[in-house]
Amino acid sequence: MSNRPNFLIFMPDQLRADCVGAFGNPVVQTPNLDAFAAQGTRFTNAFSQNSVCSPSRVSMFTGWYPHVRGHRTLTHLIKPWEPNLLKLLKDGGYNVAWAGARGDTFAPGVLEESTDFHGFTTYPTMFFEFDKTPREDALARAFYHGERKGKDGTGDGPFLDLDEANLQTALQWLEDAPEGPWVLFIAQIFPHLPFEVEEPFFSLHDRAEMPRRADADLSTKPRFMQKLKETHGRDRLSEDEWKEIVATYYGMISRIDAQFGRLMDALNVSGQANDT
């Protein structure tokens, strides 16, 4: 490997470390991530800097704790005058590509200044729609949607959602990637709630094998944690309903794992895997 290797950064959203086989989960099916971990380095003492996605991402890109520069919420993003990893690498001679789109990291204009390419070459046709209808059903209040039926509602797809469009864009970019050095960043939505996924991932995990929910003691935790539990009806879910949610979440993770495997295959085909 050269002293200026390529960097491929693949970032799912809301993927718990204990929900990956390589970190000890005996049920979830993540063969590609497990194989990658077996030949790489696992960080077992790493912690997200914020429970909300944007401050956490901003912290990773800037190297700052969220509280030291006011990056505490979804709306306080990386400003043009603030340093960020992609801009530093671009200024250092790297060809920087951001496959797809996310609006929760950079303030307007910053992504354009920090990359050589950003956006899509394959565009999504299936978009997330948040149902704001008030519901008393415990599963619905816990953001469970179940089996995803595709754009036409038949269950046959196509499932060209944002994640798949991101991935296909990344695969197309790798087909004609520069000799290097380069950075390719892919930020996926899954397994972020709502809990929904298409077949074959929806039925991939046996509901009977799902772990029971932890008996968490919230008495010493901030009050909003108990409020969240009450608001979203977690205390009203039956054990079977809980296992249904977990199995669907695991299916979403397996979809991410399959996409990661396709990305690794493309990197190997490109001939640049040993320098990335």
DSSP E strands: which ranges in the chain? 7-11, 95-99, 117-119, 144-147, 182-187, 195-197
Residue 136 or residue 198, greater confidence: 198
Model confidence band, residue 155 (pLDDT cutoffs 50, 70, 90): low
Residue 171 or residue 222, greater confidence: 171
| CATH number belonging to the domain at 7-275, selected among 3.40.50.2300, 3.40.50.300, 3.40.720.10, 3.40.50.720 | 3.40.720.10
Given this model, what pLDDT does residue 2 score? 75
Type of residue found at 149: K
Model confidence band, residue 228 (pLDDT cutoffs 50, 70, 90): confident
Best CA proximity match to 62, nearest among 107, 112, 99, 7? 107
- Strands laid side by side in the 182-187 sheet: 7-11, 182-187, 95-99, 117-119
pLDDT, tens digit (0-9, with 9 covering 90-100), for 67-97: 998 888 888 999 999 999 999 999 999 999 9
Cα separation, 70 vs 233, in Å, equals: 32
Residue 236 is classified by DSSP as G
Model confidence band, residue 135 (pLDDT cutoffs 50, 70, 90): low
Model confidence band, residue 136 (pLDDT cutoffs 50, 70, 90): confident
Cα separation, 67 vs 71, in Å, equals: 6
- Position 130 pLDDT exceeds 80: no
Residues 163-184 have a mean pLDDT of 95
Cα separation, 129 vs 196, in Å, equals: 12
- Position 11 pLDDT exceeds 70: yes
pTM for this entry = 0.93
**Phi-psi category of 13—alpha, beta or left, where left has phi over 0 and alpha has psi -120 to 50?**
beta
Q: Which two tokens stand for residue 221?
A: 């935790």
Cα–Cα distance list, 94 to 116, 167, 173, 234 (Å): 9, 21, 15, 46
Given this model, what pLDDT does residue 190 score? 97
- Range with the poorest average pLDDT among 10-24, 37-51, 195-209: 37-51
* Cα–chain center distance at 158: 21
Residue 212 is classified by DSSP as P
The mean pLDDT of the chain is 92
Cα separation, 63 vs 57, in Å, equals: 10
What residue spans define the domains of the chain?
Answer: 7-275
Cα separation, 59 vs 66, in Å, equals: 6
Cα separation, 184 vs 196, in Å, equals: 27
- Position 49 pLDDT exceeds 70: yes
Residue 230 is classified by DSSP as H
Model confidence band, residue 232 (pLDDT cutoffs 50, 70, 90): confident
